[in-house]
Amino acid sequence: MQFDGKVALVTGAGSGIGRALVQRFVAGGAAVVAVDIVEEPLQKVVAELQAQEGKVTACVANVALDADVERMLTTATSTYGRLDILCNNAGIMDSMTPAADASLQLWDRVIAVNLTGPFLACRRAIPIMLEQGSGCIINTASEAGLRGGAAGTPYTVSKHGVVGLTRSIAFHYGDRGIRCNAVCPGGVETNIGLGGGNPHEAGLAKVMKLVQATSGRVAKPENLASVMAFLASDDAAFLNGAIVPVDDGWFAG
């Protein structure tokens, strides 16, 4: 029971990595607030775990809205009394759109969910963790946060921002008991897709050339959840500010 007595909050919990992570935390004894903007799959996950006597509470929220972020954190503290682990996992793609073809609407939406969302959650979680004297934040960045050729421009910029956010929080709050690390997935079997029904053909073709130069293997959500659970555990107590590629060696090439 690696997380017995801990309280975790996971965004993007209705499917993919978020769902696998909620399952992992609950199996490890944690109480979990599972957050997603889409209610039906979220409630299904929560119902399944509650049927197994897991401690899990659903919260439908848009991570890009500060009022929703405040509500989801209040749900954690009012329901379970504390917040030990924050996992900023929710994210959207950009249809592999390069800068010159990216509309301001696309830019604003991707930045709002992928970067402003984690910032808002961290900004509200840090005071709670400071008062407790400890806390752990895990951000889902991306291979696109490490290089320029893994997605379109809005997504790439947003995930580079998540890497910077992670390192800044680790630097400023590490000596006060808060750890902040990030994972950078490569290809994963999730519902995120390309971020739209009409991918940018030229952008997609260029990115695929880079992808095809790798092993081509695609991770399962559970592969990411395992790494994130380790980062959240006491076994990783000396890891702070780490940016961890979970990409089958893609970044190594």
The structure tokens listed for 30 are 């944690």
Residue 244 reports pLDDT greater than 80: yes
Question: What average pLDDT does the segment 186-198 reach?
Answer: 64
In a domain, 185, yes or no: yes
CATH of the domain at 60: 3.40.50.720
Residues listed for the chain? 253
- Residue 14: CB partners within 8 Å, gap ≥ 6? 34, 36, 38, 40, 41, 42, 44, 45
In a domain, 105, yes or no: yes
Active site residue 155: yes
In a domain, 252, yes or no: no
Question: Phi and psi at residue 166, in whole multiples of 5°?
Answer: -60, -50
How many domains in the chain?
1
Q: Write out pLDDT tens, residues 4-39.
A: 999 999 999 999 999 999 999 999 999 999 999 999
* Residue 215: strand, helix, or coil: coil
- DSSP strand pairing (7-11 vs 85-88): parallel
In a domain, 68, yes or no: yes
Residue 52 reports pLDDT greater than 80: yes
H/E element holding 86? strand 85-88
Q: Looking at this protein, which amino acid is placed at residue 205?
A: A
In a domain, 128, yes or no: yes
In a domain, 50, yes or no: yes
In this predicted structure, what is the pLDDT of residue 218? 75
In a domain, 2, yes or no: no
Which residues constitute the domain of residue 13? 7-246
pTM of the model: 0.92
In a domain, 114, yes or no: yes
Residue, of 88 and 201, whose pLDDT is higher: 88
Which residue among 25, 80, 155, 250 is the active-site one?
A: 155
